[in-house]
C-alpha cells in the first residue's frame, strides 16, 4: 500500500510539473520577463535563500513593488501598513520618545525585536524610553533611519530566533534588504497634510544605481523630509498634543564588488540626521514651575532633539570549494541623541535663568565582527560562526543651568527636560563573544533545522540557546511546521547604566525624581539588584496550504514565555519630596496567539493584476508572576502597560489593482481594543478601522503621479475620559492625527 | 472502486498542480526559449537538440519533464548531465549551475575553445566570458549577453534576443 502511495505521488508530481512548465513554455520571451517567481527569504536560515512560504517557521516578505505602490515613505508606516501584529505608536509629551519611532511585534517590547540590515544586526537608539509609552524601560532600534527608497524587500520572521541571531530575537526578527543589482534610478517627491491639526510634510527621495564589473554595484539613496507638527489639544487646555516638527535627512549606500577568484567585497552604510522639536506640558502662569516676570502668561517648554545615527558595514566573502563558503564582516553603528530645551526656564535661578538649555545627551556605539562558514555535503547544510561585539553607552552632562539649583526655589533644572548632571555622566562598555552552529537536513518530505548559540557577555555572563524547527510536506500544496526554541534579551547598557534626575508630579505638587543605576547605593538600599538577562521559551506550530497556484493560506499558533522581564520600578519615596526608581527584572509573562495570512493574486478579464492579502494576528500577554519587591504588582498602570496597552488583535486587508497605466493600492486595517490607565482609572478603547488609499497614474514610461491618503475616512480613537489634559491616548495604534492626504510624483531614469 | 481510485488520482494531481512557479521552472523554460533565437552555423548532423547541464544540483527533473515532448529547431530535445569538464561532449547548450562557481573559469575556457553556447546564473558569468547570463531583479528574470560572443564561427545570436537582453563587455 505504501509503495503504491509513493508511486501515485510520484506520478502526480510528474504530471503536475509538466502541466506547470508547459503553461510557462507557451509564453513568449517577453511574457516570461513579466512572470514573477516565488518570493525568497534569507532570514531564519544560514543555508541560503528559499521560498518564504515553505519555511519551517512563519516568515512574511514585503516587496519593493508593494512598498512603492503603497506610497509610504517611512519604514514604521510601511511595517504598520503590511504587518498584522506590528505596532508603532505616536508618543507626544514623552520627552525623548516623541522623536524616535520604535516598533513592536506580538504585543511585546521594542527591545524584544531584532532588526537586521542585509542580515547583519543593526544597533539600537541610545534613547531610553522612560515615560508613558509602550517601550517604557527599553531602547529600541530607530527604524526611520533607513530611506524607504533604498529597500529591496523586508523579511519578517515571526518566531524566537536567539539561537541563530543572539539577544533580542524574542518576538521576531525584521531583516531589511537593501537594493542590490539592476534597480532603476529614480527620484520622487511627496507633499501632504492632515485634514485637521496641521502636519504639513514635504519629502524628496533619490536612488542612484551604478553597475560595477561582474554584477557588482554601487547603490546610493538619499531622503530629506520636513514635517510640521500636529496639534490636537483638548478644548480649554494649553498643551498641544501631536507629532513633533522635524527635519529628517537620511543617506544610504549599498555596495558589492566581486573580485577575481570568487571573492566579493561588500558593504553598506546608513546616515541619519534628525532635528525634532515637540512641547512638554504647559506651565500655567501661577504654577510654581513658572516665573511670572519671565512668562507672565505661563509658558510651553519645547524639547529639541538632535539625533545623529550612522552605521557602516564592510565585509568580504568567497568560496573555498563549490560547497564551502565563508564570510567575514565588520559592522559599526553609532547613535547620538542630544537634548536641547527651548522656551523654558530654570525656576530655581529666578530672573537669572536662561530660556534655552543644552540638557546633555546620550550615545550608543556597537561594533560587531562576524566570521561565518557554510558547508554543504550530501543532504546536509552546516553553517557556523563566531561573533565578537563591543558596545559603549555614554551620558554627557548638560550645561550647568540645565540642572543646577540656583537657590531661588527648589524647583531646579530646565523645565521640560532637566539636564543630565555630572553625577549622571557615564562612559561604560562591554563586550561579548558568541559561537553558533546550525544544521539543516532534508529527508524526503521532512526538513529539520537545529541551531545552537553560546554567548558570553563581559557584564552579566553566559547564555546558551537552542532551536529545533521541522516541517513536513504532506503534499506539494500542504506543509506542516513546528519549532521550539529558547532565547534571551541581554540587559542593554542603557538599562544598566542610565541615570537622570527630573521633576515629576502635578503643577504645584512636585517631587524630585531620580532614575538610578542598579549599582547606585541608594538604589541598592531600596532593593535594586544587578540586572540579569530576560530568558524566553518559544513554541510555534502551523501550516501552509497552497489552495491554488495563486491562493495560499497559512496559520500559526505561537507561545512565548519570558522570565525576568526588565522594567522600571514604581516611584519609591525617599527623603523629603524625593522619589527614586531603577531598572529591575520585574515580571514573568506568557504571550500566546495566532497569525493567519491569506494571499491571492489573479489576472482579471481586462488583463488587470489583482493582489489581495488578508492577515489576522491575535496575541495576549499575561503576567504569570512578579519578582520585584518595589510594588509593581500593585501598580495597575504598569500591569496594564505589559498586558493591555497594545491591541490584542489586528486585521489587515490589502488590495492592489494594476492595469497599466493605473495602480490602486487599498489597505484596510482594524486595530483591536487596548486600554490605558490614568489617575488610577482604567479606560478601554474600542477597536477602530483605518483605511489607506493610493491611486497612481503612469503618464509616461518614466513618470508616475499619485494621490492618496492614510486614514482617509478621518477616524480618531475614542477620547480620553479620565485624562483631563490630553484629548487622546498615546497608546492609540494608529495615532490621533486623523486623515492625511498627499500628492506624489516619481521619475525613473 | 475504480471510480474512487480515478477521483483520488485526479484530486492528487490537481492538489499538486497548485504550487507557485519557481525560479528553477522559469529558468528551465527560458533556456529552451532563448535557444530558438540562436542559429548554429556549422552543419549540424545531430538528430537531437542537446542541452547539457554541468553539475545538476539545480533543476531536479524540471528539464527532463519539460522537454520530453518538445522540439527545438525541429529536433527532439535531449538532456545530458555531466559532473566534470572531461565529460562534456557535443552539445548545443551548456548550462552551468550555481554550484559550479569554482570550475567556472575552466568551463568558460573549454566552451570558448569549442564554441559552445553557455548559459548560467552565476554572478559575472557573461562578463567573465560566458555567453548568456540569467539573473533576477524583483522576482523577474532578465538576461545578460556577452557582446564578444554574439557572432562566432559556430553560432549567431539573433538581434531580437540581443534587443531584450543587457549587453555586457566580456571575455576578460
Domain-located, residue B1: no
Residue A14's pLDDT is 46
Q: Of B12, B18, B137, which is closest to A549 when you measure between CB atoms?
A: B18
Instruction: Report how far apart, in Å, the C-alpha atoms of B30 and of each of A24, A49, B27, B165 are.
Output: 9, 21, 5, 13
CB contact under 8 A, A29 and B33: yes
User: Are residues A341 and A116 in contact, defined by beta-carbon separation less than 8 angstroms?
Assistant: no
Domain-located, residue B67: yes
Cell readout for A618 is: 491575535
Question: Is B100 part of the contact surface with chain A (CB cutoff 8 Å)?
Answer: yes
Distance (Å) from the alpha carbon of B34 to chain A's nearest alpha carbon? 8
Question: Is A152 part of the contact surface with chain B (CB cutoff 8 Å)?
Answer: yes
Question: Is A474 part of the contact surface with chain B (CB cutoff 8 Å)?
Answer: no
Q: Of B19, B22, B101, which is closest to A322 when you measure between CB atoms?
A: B101
Same domain membership, residue A67 and residue A31: no
CB contact under 8 A, A182 and B62: no
Residue of A nearest to B128 (CA): A214
Residue B15's pLDDT is 40
Same domain membership, residue A149 and residue A22: no
Interface of A with B in 96-135 (CB under 8 A): none
Cell readout for A256 is: 558589492
CB contact under 8 A, A13 and B16: yes
CATH number reported for the structural domain that contains residue B28 in this entry: 3.40.50
Distance (Å) from the alpha carbon of B24 to chain A's nearest alpha carbon? 9
Question: Burial level of B67, CB count in 10 A (0-12/13-18/19+)?
Answer: buried
Question: Is A25 part of the contact surface with chain B (CB cutoff 8 Å)?
Answer: yes
Chain segment A664-677, per-residue pLDDT in tens: 999 999 999 999 99
Question: Is B66 part of the contact surface with chain A (CB cutoff 8 Å)?
Answer: yes
Strand (E) or helix (H) holding B10: helix B2-17
Question: Is B16 part of the contact surface with chain A (CB cutoff 8 Å)?
Answer: yes
Cell readout for B82 is: 555531466
Return all residues near A521 (Cβ < 8 A) that are at least 6 apart.
Answer: none
Chain segment A634-671, per-residue pLDDT in tens: 888 889 999 999 999 999 999 999 999 999 999 999 99
Same domain membership, residue A28 and residue A129: no
Same domain membership, residue A132 and residue A18: no
Cell readout for A465 is: 540557546
Domain count, chain A: 2
Domain-located, residue B12: no
Most A CBs within 10 Å: which of B22, B28, B29, as the mutation test of the A interface? B29
Dihedral (CA of A87, A92, A95, A101) sign: positive
Same domain membership, residue A502 and residue A463: yes
Beta bridge partners of B77: B49
Chain segment A346-390, per-residue pLDDT in tens: 999 999 999 999 999 999 999 999 999 999 887 788 999 999 999
Question: Is A30 part of the contact surface with chain B (CB cutoff 8 Å)?
Answer: yes
Query: Whose CA is closest to A489, among A393, A372, A567, A383?
Result: A567
Residues of B in contact with A317 (CB under 8 A): none
* ipTM (interface predicted TM): 0.83
CB pairs under 8 A between A and B: 152
Give CA–CA dist B19/A605, Å, rounded.
Answer: 22
Residue B11's pLDDT is 42
Question: Is B88 part of the contact surface with chain A (CB cutoff 8 Å)?
Answer: no
Q: How many Cβ atoms are within 10 Å of A394's Cβ, its own excluded?
A: 18
The residues of chain B scoring below 50 in pLDDT are: 7-20, 172
Across A517-608, where does the E strand assignment appear? 534-548, 551-568, 572-574, 578-603
DSSP state of B90: S
User: Are residues A708 and A81 in contact, defined by beta-carbon separation less than 8 angstroms?
Assistant: no
Alpha helix (H) ranges present in B39-156? 62-66, 104-113
Question: Is A464 part of the contact surface with chain B (CB cutoff 8 Å)?
Answer: no
Distance (Å) from the alpha carbon of B5 to chain A's nearest alpha carbon? 10
Cell readout for A516 is: 538610578
Residues of A in contact with B136 (CB under 8 A): 37
Residues of B in contact with A323 (CB under 8 A): 99
Domain of residue A2, residue span: 1-35
Domain-located, residue B100: yes
Query: Whose CA is closest to A202, among A241, A251, A248, A252?
Result: A248
Across A402-508, where does the E strand assignment appear? 426-443, 446-457, 461-475, 478-489, 500-506
Domain-located, residue B79: yes
Same domain membership, residue A570 and residue A444: yes
CB contact under 8 A, B15 and A19: no
Interface of A with B in 682-741 (CB under 8 A): none
Q: What is the CA radius of gyration of chain A?
A: 26
Terminal C-alpha separation, chain B:
66
Sequential DSSP letters for A18-29: HHHHHHHHTS-H
CB contact under 8 A, A551 and B34: no
Query: Whose CA is closest to A718, among A726, A733, A707, A728?
Result: A728
Dihedral (CA of A192, A194, A195, A200) sign: negative
Q: What are phi and psi of A78, to 5 degrees?
A: -60, -45
Same domain membership, residue A132 and residue A14: no
Residue A695's pLDDT is 97
Domain count, chain B: 1
Query: Hey, is B101 helix, strand or coil?
Result: helix
Cell readout for A576 is: 523629603
A405-437 burial, b for 16+ CB within 10 Å, e for fewer? ebebeebbbbbbbbbbbeebebebebebebebb
Return all residues near B68 (Cβ < 8 A) that are at least 6 apart.
Answer: A18
Question: Is A444 part of the contact surface with chain B (CB cutoff 8 Å)?
Answer: no
Beta bridge partners of A129: none
Residues of A in contact with B171 (CB under 8 A): none
Same domain membership, residue A8 and residue A150: no
Same domain membership, residue A94 and residue A19: no
Same domain membership, residue A695 and residue A739: yes
Residue A195's pLDDT is 92
Same domain membership, residue A473 and residue A415: yes
DSSP state of A663: E
Query: Whose CA is closest to A304, among A264, A266, A260, A361?
Result: A361
Instruction: Report how far apart, in Å, the C-alpha atoms of A541 and of each of A13, A145, A593, A605 are.
Output: 26, 34, 11, 38
The residues of chain A scoring below 50 in pLDDT are: 1-3, 5-6, 8-16
Chain segment A275-305, per-residue pLDDT in tens: 999 999 999 999 888 999 999 999 999 999 9
Q: What is the CA radius of gyration of chain B?
A: 18
Question: Is B101 part of the contact surface with chain A (CB cutoff 8 Å)?
Answer: yes
Same domain membership, residue A461 and residue A434: yes
Residue of A nearest to B62 (CA): A17
Domain-located, residue B65: yes
Domain of residue B113, residue span: 21-168
Distance (Å) from the alpha carbon of A32 to chain B's nearest alpha carbon? 8
Give CA–CA dist A645/A733, Å, rounded.
Answer: 9
Question: Is B123 part of the contact surface with chain A (CB cutoff 8 Å)?
Answer: yes
Amino acid at each position: 500500500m505504501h509503495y503504491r502511495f509513493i508511486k501515485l505521488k510520484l506520478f502526480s508530481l510528474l504530471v503536475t510539473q509538466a502541466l506547470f512548465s508547459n503553461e510557462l513554455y507557451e509564453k513568449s520571451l517577453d511574457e516570461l520577463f513579466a512572470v514573477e517567481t516565488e518570493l525568497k527569504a534569507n532570514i531564519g536560515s544560514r543555508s541560503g535563500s528559499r521560498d518564504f512560504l515553505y519555511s519551517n517557521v512563519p516568515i512574511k516578505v514585503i516587496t519593493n513593488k508593494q512598498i512603492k505602490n503603497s506610497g509610504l515613505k517611512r519604514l514604521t508606516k510601511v511595517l504598520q501598513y503590511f504587518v498584522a501584529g506590528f505596532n508603532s505608536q505616536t508618543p507626544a509629551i514623552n520627552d525623548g520618545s516623541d522623536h524616535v519611532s520604535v516598533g513592536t511585534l506580538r504585543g511585546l517590547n521594542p527591545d524584544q525585536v531584532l532588526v537586521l540590515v542585509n542580515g547583519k544586526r543593526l544597533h539600537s537608539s541610545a534613547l531610553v524610553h522612560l515615560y508613558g509609552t509602550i517601550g517604557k524601560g527599553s531602547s529600541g532600534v530607530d527604524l526611520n533611519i533607513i530611506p524607504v527608497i533604498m529597500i529591496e524587500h523586508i523579511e519578517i520572521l515571526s518566531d524566537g530566533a536567539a539561537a541563530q541571531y543572539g539577544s533580542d530575537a524574542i518576538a521576531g526578527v525584521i531583516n531589511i534588504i537593501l537594493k542590490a543589482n539592476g534597480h532603476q534610478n529614480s527620484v520622487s517627491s511627496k507633499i501632504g497634510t492632515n485634514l485637521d491639526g496641521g502636519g504639513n510634510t514635504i519629502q524628496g527621495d533619490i536612488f542612484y544605481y551604478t553597475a560595477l564589473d561582474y554584477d557588482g554595484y554601487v547603490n546610493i539613496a538619499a531622503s530629506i523630509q520636513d514635517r510640521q507638527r500636529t496639534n490636537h489639544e483638548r478644548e480649554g487646555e494649553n498643551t498641544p498634543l501631536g507629532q513633533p516638527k522635524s527635519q529628517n535627512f537620511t543617506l544610504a549606500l549599498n555596495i558589492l564588488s566581486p573580485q577575481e577568484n570568487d571573492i566579493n567585497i561588500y558593504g553598506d552604510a546608513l546616515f541619519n540626521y534628525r532635528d525634532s522639536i515637540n512641547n512638554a506640558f504647559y506651565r500655567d502662569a501661577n504654577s510654581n514651575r513658572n516665573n511670572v516676570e519671565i512668562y507672565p502668561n505661563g509658558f510651553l517648554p519645547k524639547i529639541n532633539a538632535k539625533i545623529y545615527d550612522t552605521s557602516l558595514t564592510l565585509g568580504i566573502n568567497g568560496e573555498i570549494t563549490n560547497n564551502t563558503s565563508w564570510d567575514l564582516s565588520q559592522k559599526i553603528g553609532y547613535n547620538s541623541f542630544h537634548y536641547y530645551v527651548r522656551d523654558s526656564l530654570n525656576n530655581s535661578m529666578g530672573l537669572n535663568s536662561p530660556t534655552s538649555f543644552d540638557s546633555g545627551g546620550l550615545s550608543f556605539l556597537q561594533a560587531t565582527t562576524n566570521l561565518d562558514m557554510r558547508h554543504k555535503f550530501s543532504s546536509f547544510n552546516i553553517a557556523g560562526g563566531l561573533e565578537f561585539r563591543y558596545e559603549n553607552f555614554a551620558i554627557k552632562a548638560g550645561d550647568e543651568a540645565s540642572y543646577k539649583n540656583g537657590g531661588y526655589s527648589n524647583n531646579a533644572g530646565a523645565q521640560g527636560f532637566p539636564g543630565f548632571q555630572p553625577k549622571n555622566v557615564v562612559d561604560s562598555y562591554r563586550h561579548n563573544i558568541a559561537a553558533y552552529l546550525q544544521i539543516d537536513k532534508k529527508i524526503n518530505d521532512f526538513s529539520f533545522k537545529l541551531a545552537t548559540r553560546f554567548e558570553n557577555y563581559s557584564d552579566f555572563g553566559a547564555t546558551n540557546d537552542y532551536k529545533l524547527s521541522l516541517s513536513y510536506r504532506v503534499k506539494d500544496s500542504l506543509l506542516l511546521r513546528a519549532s521550539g526554541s529558547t532565547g534571551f534579551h541581554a540587559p542593554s547598557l542603557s538599562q544598566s547604566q542610565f541615570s537622570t534626575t527630573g521633576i515629576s508630579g502635578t503643577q504645584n505638587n512636585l517631587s524630585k525624581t531620580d532614575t538610578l543605576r542598579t549599582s547606585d547605593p541608594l538604589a541598592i538600599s531600596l532593593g535594586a539588584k544587578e540586572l540579569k538577562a530576560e530568558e524566553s521559551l518559544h513554541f510555534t506550530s502551523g501550516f501552509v496550504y497552497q489552495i491554488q497556484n495563486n491562493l495560499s493560506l497559512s496559520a500559526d499558533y505561537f507561545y512565548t514565555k519570558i522570565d525576568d522581564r526588565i522594567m522600571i520600578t514604581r516611584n519609591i519615596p525617599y527623603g523629603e519630596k524625593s522619589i527614586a526608581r531603577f531598572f529591575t527584572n520585574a515580571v514573568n509573562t506568557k504571550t500566546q496567539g495566532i497569525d493567519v495570512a491569506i494571499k491571492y493574486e489573479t489576472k482579471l478579464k481586462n488583463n488587470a493584476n489583482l493582489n489581495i492579502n488578508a492577515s489576522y494576528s491575535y496575541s495576549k500577554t499575561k503576567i504569570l508572576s512578579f519578582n520585584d519587591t518595589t510594588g509593581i504588582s500593585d501598580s495597575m498602570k504598569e500591569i496594564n502597560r505589559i498586558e493591555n496597552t497594545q491591541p490584542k488583535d489586528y486585521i489587515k486587508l490589502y488590495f492592489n489593482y494594476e492595469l497599466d497605466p493605473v495602480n490602486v493600492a487599498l489597505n484596510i486595517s482594524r486595530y483591536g481594543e487596548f486600554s490605558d490607565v490614568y489617575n488610577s482609572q482604567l479606560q478601554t478603547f474600542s477597536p477602530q478601522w483605518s483605511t489607506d488609499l493610493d491611486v497612481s497614474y503612469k503618464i509616461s514610461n518614466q513618470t508616475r503621479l499619485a494621490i492618496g491618503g492614510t486614514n482617509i475616512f478621518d477616524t480618531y480613537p475614542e477620547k480620553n475620559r479620565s485624562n483631563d489634559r490630553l484629548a487622546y491616548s498615546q497608546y492609540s495604534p494608529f495615532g490621533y492625527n486623523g486623515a492625511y492626504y498627499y500628492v506624489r510624483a516619481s521619475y525613473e531614469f | 472502486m475504480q471510480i474512487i481510485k480515478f477521483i483520488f488520482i485526479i484530486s492528487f494531481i490537481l492538489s499538486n498542480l497548485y504550487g507557485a512557479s519557481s525560479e528553477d521552472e522559469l529558468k528551465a523554460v527560458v533556456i529552451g526559449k532563448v535557444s530558438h533565437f540562436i542559429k548554429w552555423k556549422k552543419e549540424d548532423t545531430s538528430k537531437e537538440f542537446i542541452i547539457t547541464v554541468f553539475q545538476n544540483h539545480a533543476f531536479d527533473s524540471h528539464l527532463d519533464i519539460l522537454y520530453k515532448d518538445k522540439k527545438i529547431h525541429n529536433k527532439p530535445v535531449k538532456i545530458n548531465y555531466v559532473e566534470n569538464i572531461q565529460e562534456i561532449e557535443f552539445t548545443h547548450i551548456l548550462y552551468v549551475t550555481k554550484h559550479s562557481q569554482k570550475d567556472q573559469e575552466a568551463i568558460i575556457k573549454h566552451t570558448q575553445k569549442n564554441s559552445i553556447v553557455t548559459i548560467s546564473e552565476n554572478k559575472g558569468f557573461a562578463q567573465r566570458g560566458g555567453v548568456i547570463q540569467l539573473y533576477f531583479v524583483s522576482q523577474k528574470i532578465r538576461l545578460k549577453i556577452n557582446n564578444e560572443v554574439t557572432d562566432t564561427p559556430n553560432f549567431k545570436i539573433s538581434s531580437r534576443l540581443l534587443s531584450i537582453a543587457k549587453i555586457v563587455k566580456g571575455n576578460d
